[in-house]
Amino acid sequence: MLKKRLVCACFALAGLVCLPPVFGQDATRQLLEQLSNAPGPPGAEEAVRAIMVAKMKPLSSSLSYDGMGSVIAQMGSAGPRVMVDAHMDELGGMVRRLTPNGFLTMQMLGGWLDQALVDQRWIILGSKGPVHAVTGIRDIHVLPAEDRGKVFPRNMLYLDVGARNAEEAAAMGLEPGDPVVPDSQFLVMNGTDNYLGKAWDDRVGCAVLVEAMQRMAKQNHPNQLFFAATTQEEVGLRGARTAAEVIKPEIAIAIEGGIAGDTYAHHPEETQAKLGAGPGLFLFDSSAMANRKFVALVKRTASEKGIPLQLDLVQGYGDDSAEIQESNGGVPTINLVAPLRYTHAHNGILNRKDFDQLVDLVVDLLTELDAKTVTQIRDFAPAQ
């Protein structure tokens, strides 16, 4: 019963039940909103997984799970084994302990900046349902002048749930190990085609999986497609590793949230992508290097289809393709992205046109990955 209440609470946060219907939206926007709002920190992806399974199962010839909770949906039974990956988890946290005065300490999960943590709202997925919390901040009226410009370190932060003591916090259904997720609801930014929300890294990729499956279900394709919604990427690319072991792909595409560099233009070497300028292709990141022949295919396909393509190289970035390319004796991979503003924080921005064009590019690539093309990409023999 306790587990059922927790799952129902997660579903409510994900927009699956107990929330009023949303009218006047296209299906893609509804999908993006539902995925962005869903709580899913590493190891607690249940609400996101429920959405993905509901969308993927009717489109797949078979649907299964690996031992880490990743969802694997297969389409087709002949041709090269093509893996398309996106991770379900988002940056979050986990309750460490309940203090005597009712505050909670938090273990951060994923690559948080300390300056992104102060005075933010959070949701704790407790055994009795969601509990709202806030990370506090020292009052300016008592903070020494020399400390006012300093970043509040994470080890000084506490989750405030309004409890007066540890017993009151425990009575809310809270205990060590409870997942914590940012509290930040989806919205369309002032009538534009920019969407504000949390967890675009990598709910944007999850939405691409769903929409690509919907498109591929209506046309013939020359391969076996394995769409994998993976777990625990933010804490070490773990689900991609186990999913790839199950799938044994011959070639793979990772779908991720990229980094838009148009906000802080005085740091041009950090990233070259711009919001609203089309999907991106990572030539390099700290965890993986794209297969050069596969890169050439992406460039050619985008050019032939009239899809703008942004090439990028980013340090301090890791993605699932790193684990996939090291599986099954070596797998040619690429990482395609939708550029995002303000990743790894409570509020990020996705451009709808970038998303739509990314779906177009993925679908176009999947229709081209026949046995001959995959063999050519995997061929490393020196030219005669």
Q: Any idea which residues carry the catalytic annotation? A: 233
Q: Which residues are annotated as a binding site?
A: 87, 201, 234, 256, 344
Tokens 């962005």 map to which residue? 36
Nearest to 85, CA basis, from 271, 242, 287: 242
Q: Which residues are annotated as a binding site for Zn(2+)?
A: 87, 201, 234, 256, 344
Q: How far is CA 216 from CA 59, 86, 223, 302, in A?
A: 9, 17, 11, 18
The count of residues in the chain is 384
Sign of CA dihedral 343, 346, 351, 354: positive
Nearest to 287, CA basis, from 245, 321, 252, 255: 321
Omega within 30 of 0 (cis) for the link into 202: yes
Q: By 3-state DSSP, what share of the chain in percent is helix, strand and coil, each rounded to 5? A: 35, 25, 40
Q: In sequence order, what DSSP letters do the residues of 325-374 get, joined into one string?
A: HTSTT---EEEEEE-EES-SSS-EEEEHHHHHHHHHHHHHHHHH--HHHH
CA distance 29 to 33: 6
Nearest to 42, CA basis, from 177, 133, 196: 177
Residue type, 141: H
Cβ pair 161, 53 in contact under 8 A: no
